[in-house]
Amino acid sequence: MSCGMPEHGAYPHLVIGRIVAVADESQTRALFDAMRRHGRWSTLPTSRAIFWKNLQPVAIDAGSGEATITLTSQDEMHAAPLRVGDLVRYSPHRGRYEVPPTDKIAAAFWSVDGCVAVLCRASDKQCFGRYAKGLFQVSDGVQLSPDTLKPLQHGITIDAETMLPRNAAHVN
């Protein structure tokens, strides 16, 4: 991984945290160039412009003070704009209802992105207390260490559909 980005495919874990940055076109192109220089994303078209047209990098702080860079589609970004300070959840594509596109280029981009959805707007501080920040397994909502990506022995477990804690008396 590079900046939390897998070499191939989408970031595989749920991420709940605050948006700390939404990349602009120049930053997106620089990320694309860096990933390609390191031999990553070899299945994507080589055009930086097409990458920017399709994908939006978003940096999320899941409570560790370090950002995890995730990708979401520009279509989703335009439908529900993300703002710095919003509490969001990133999820890789999952479930029977998320079928990859049949177009080869669209499918290539779909294979490396996920969905970033707003849980609470930055201005709704009361909402933030409902959710636990962190990285979580998609399969069962078990919290992962941001350093090792292994389950935390005394971590929080969330419902992987609602994103709400299952076993927490304390939410961060």
Task: For tokens 């970033």, name the residue.
Answer: 116
Per-residue pLDDT tens digits for 42-73: 889 999 999 999 999 999 999 988 899 999 99
Confidence of residue 2 (pLDDT cuts 50, 70, 90): very low
Per-residue pLDDT tens digits for 12-38: 999 999 999 999 999 999 999 999 998
| pTM of the shown model | 0.91
Q: Report the C-alpha gap between 31 and 57 in whole angstroms.
A: 9
Please tell me whether residue 169 adopts helix, strand or coil conformation: coil
Could you state, in order of their start, the residue ranges of all structural domains in the chain? Answer: 14-144
Per-residue pLDDT tens digits for 101-120: 899 998 999 999 999 999 99
For residue 86, give the DSSP letter: -
